[in-house]
Structure 1
């Protein structure tokens, strides 16, 4: 019986090795038949071995181009390009090119998207960049630990696993319950550290460049003109140290998780946001926030104190959260529409929610505001948006 078991394990290993080898061979052959062509108006990509796929990407519709280098690709000196194009549901990829070729092609495509002539674009090269900030590894590790999203789940897991084993005596069920929780813990701790390690923000003519990753290196560019909203997140245990995280919503998406910087002190956060919203005083924007009226406690007990709303000459500001406080800034020029809502109970309390929708298909809500103020804000915000669009900066690359 023991010999049969060993033979069964051997067969499993042989089958697994064969499947992996065939998958690797198929991937290599698919890569070998991949072709691309840059014309005057578009990038054409043809991929697939058994199932052929052709993509025609208009150069003037390119939103962002990211360079990604997984661990094995770094060892082999290759990289892939991830392109986000207006009107395309998914990011199109071109994998794998030599690292130098990938960077040269990316620079040419960005130059073409900026309107540089096809003859001059190949020689334009990558715009020089100036480093603005680099996240220290120790600071990142401490910040992730203080979030508590990872180790906070260890206690429930330590209770749940013995309970599942006692209730079912099934190893399979216990593992199936534990694995998703362990995966969540991994993503919020070690996985986040590996992804955000060495996070660097640099400034160039084509926008803010983000480089990060320990095992897999990612290189993304954020065109400031396409940023639709900025979120300043201050978790409870970060505030004493004066730390915050800055997140972005960009038309077309593109970069990792919408992050501008995973952790930095408030002064650095304000300086980096100033590169995107140069006419906005961040301290004045946050200082303009007024809390919800005291009667809002009858609508949302305790947590109502976390809600607030403010406005400056350049941005609409909404605040939410008490444990993790978030200020969301939406430039007036990016506001697509504004509306107000309230239910029967909020109507009785004379409270209204103000909804502001922007160009990244997102909505920012200032909750539990005084109804009279909300109605006045509805009209005023429409006027601010019209004025903001007249003076807004261009959204094109390198402009």
Structure 2
């Protein structure tokens, strides 16, 4: 295996101070605290878990009185701890950074540099919606997770702070209102429901339920009946997962275009307001499951710098640009997200004939091509994928060659971006061709990075009588936040 990292000129390292940690500066008086209901929202899940697990033992032993006293004690302890954490947590602007101070015994001061800000998202969990509060998540270049999420703020405060963060990051007046938007796509509820029903997980779960139901009808023994009933559990879980992942999370999905980038609003119970700046998109994948082909539907996924280190669950929530759309609708958005290029029009070359020994079905679908802006990879027979990665966003290019590939004289090339759901893998090419692909892609990435000078947010747009300018590179640079802890 070999790899080459394209020139990453312009990366900006943030180094930690060496030696002893310096004393945390006193929190300025003008810094604000989080919403007063924050301790309640943070502690209810822990209390619910204690009741759920402790309640089972109490029911078995019959000692409900002792259990009640324990729950009250846990509630009081959790409330006191939450109140102290809330009291010592304050946030505000400190020069060109958002500063968040927290901790009672161990003081912690975190600074999130605004010139590395990738996105500012507003999430409203169900409990937060009932109490009128929101969570503000800050995503920065190279961050392993959301940098110092502000849990929780009043809804109006969260919207106002988000607009101020975007304005400051753009280098304009902090009081500038949020940029206007134009709705690009809304997912109809009936289409979302049918796309869920036609998903592979839902169909598999339904097949399991039907099969177990038939077996259940012909089983005379009660003990065996209970066994059959328990066997239906995987099908129920599969159907529930499909309903939640596609229908629950993407309910009311709206994609809008603004100078900030693409704005996404979605969610049934927990609502999410997300921004995907086009300049931060590292790769795009057009996907079409087998059963969606009847309707001509596809899904559009993206890799976005700043979201790369999140959990799998969070990554699924933040990587979907279109959960279900017609091919033409997705193609239009694809061309807008990757300006200057049309990945669907890039000429593709298929894999050589020896690849059929490794991919008996669908080896002719393995194809690769490039133009001046992107590298495009196509694969899949039952589940079709078309992946496009801008040359300037490629983090590295490498070759893999397994033992069977060596025997056939083949190799696979990986064009790596930030971690995420989009992978550009050029499978089963002749070894000499694979080396040429690596050399060519490395050179194209190097040239593209020189041309792709990091631009400020919204620099090309005018609204509200002013230009919005901000700085971020979107190439996976190291995180912009720095911490100084003092015990």
**TM-score, length of structure 1 as denominator length:** 0.84
Matched, 1:128 2:180: yes
Classify 1:36/1:204 alpha carbon distance in 2 versus 1 (closer, same or farther; 3 Å): same
Per-residue deviation at 1:144?
A: 1.3
- 1:208 corresponds to which residue? 262
What residue ranges of structure 2 are gaps of 5+ in the alignment?
A: 1-57, 309-314, 460-487
- Report the 3-state secondary structure (helix = DSSP H, G, I; strand = E; otherwise coil) of the residue aligned with 2:165: helix
Determine if contact 2:373/2:391 at 8 Å carries over to the other structure. yes
> Which whole-Å CA distance do the structure 2 matches of 1:158 and 1:17 have between them?
43
Show the 5 A alignment for 1:226-265: 226-253=280-307, 256-265=317-326
Match of 1:313 among 355, 367, 372: 372
Classify 1:74/1:325 alpha carbon distance in 2 versus 1 (closer, same or farther; 3 Å): same
Classify 1:381/1:89 alpha carbon distance in 2 versus 1 (closer, same or farther; 3 Å): closer
Choose 53-62 or 125-134, whichever is displaced more. 53-62
Name the structure where strand makes up a greater proportion of residues: 1
Classify 1:344/1:126 alpha carbon distance in 2 versus 1 (closer, same or farther; 3 Å): same
Choose 65-74 or 359-368, whichever is displaced more. 359-368
- 2:454 corresponds to which residue? 394
- 1:366 corresponds to which residue? 426
- 2:333 corresponds to which residue? 272
Per-residue deviation at 1:230?
A: 0.3
Instruction: Write out per-residue CA displacement over residues 115-138 of structure 1, whole angstroms, 9 at most, x where no aligned residue.
Output: 33xxx21x1121111111111111
- 2:192 corresponds to which residue? 140
Show the 5 A alignment for 1:1-399: 8=62, 10-11=64-65, 14=68, 18=72, 21-22=75-76, 25=79, 29=83, 32-33=86-87, 34-47=89-102, 53-91=108-146, 92-116=148-172, 120-121=173-174, 123-156=175-208, 182-253=236-307, 256-285=317-346, 288-360=347-419, 364-392=424-452, 394-399=454-459
Per-residue deviation at 1:140?
A: 0.7
- Report the 3-state secondary structure (helix = DSSP H, G, I; strand = E; otherwise coil) of the residue aligned with 1:365: strand
Classify 1:257/1:26 alpha carbon distance in 2 versus 1 (closer, same or farther; 3 Å): farther
Name the structure where helix makes up a greater proportion of residues: 1
> Which whole-Å CA distance do the structure 2 matches of 1:223 and 1:27 have between them?
38
> Which whole-Å CA distance do the structure 2 matches of 1:319 and 1:231 have between them?
10
Instruction: Write out per-residue CA displacement over residues 230-281 of structure 1, whole angstroms, 9 at most, x where no aligned residue.
Output: 0100111112221110000111117724111101011111111122112111
Classify 1:188/1:48 alpha carbon distance in 2 versus 1 (closer, same or farther; 3 Å): farther
Per-residue deviation at 1:326?
A: 0.9
Determine if contact 1:30/1:47 at 8 Å carries over to the other structure. no
Instruction: Write out per-residue CA displacement over residues 57-108 of structure 1, whole angstroms, 9 at most, x where no aligned residue.
Output: 2222222211011122222221110112335433121021111111110111
Classify 1:235/1:30 alpha carbon distance in 2 versus 1 (closer, same or farther; 3 Å): farther
Classify 1:9/1:301 alpha carbon distance in 2 versus 1 (closer, same or farther; 3 Å): farther
- Report the 3-state secondary structure (helix = DSSP H, G, I; strand = E; otherwise coil) of the residue aligned with 1:43: strand
Per-residue deviation at 1:379?
A: 2.6
What is the CA RMSD across the aligned residues, in angstroms?
Answer: 3.6
- Report the 3-state secondary structure (helix = DSSP H, G, I; strand = E; otherwise coil) of the residue aligned with 1:252: coil
> Which whole-Å CA distance do the structure 2 matches of 1:226 and 1:16 have between them?
50
Classify 1:105/1:376 alpha carbon distance in 2 versus 1 (closer, same or farther; 3 Å): same
Structure with higher RCO (Cα < 8 A, 6+ apart): 2
- Report the 3-state secondary structure (helix = DSSP H, G, I; strand = E; otherwise coil) of the residue aligned with 2:395: strand
> Which whole-Å CA distance do the structure 1 matches of 2:202 and 2:445 have between them?
41
- Report the 3-state secondary structure (helix = DSSP H, G, I; strand = E; otherwise coil) of the residue aligned with 1:197: coil
Determine if contact 2:343/2:376 at 8 Å carries over to the other structure. no
> Which whole-Å CA distance do the structure 2 matches of 1:26 and 1:70 have between them?
23
**TM-score, length of structure 2 as denominator length:** 0.70
Determine if contact 2:246/2:323 at 8 Å carries over to the other structure. no
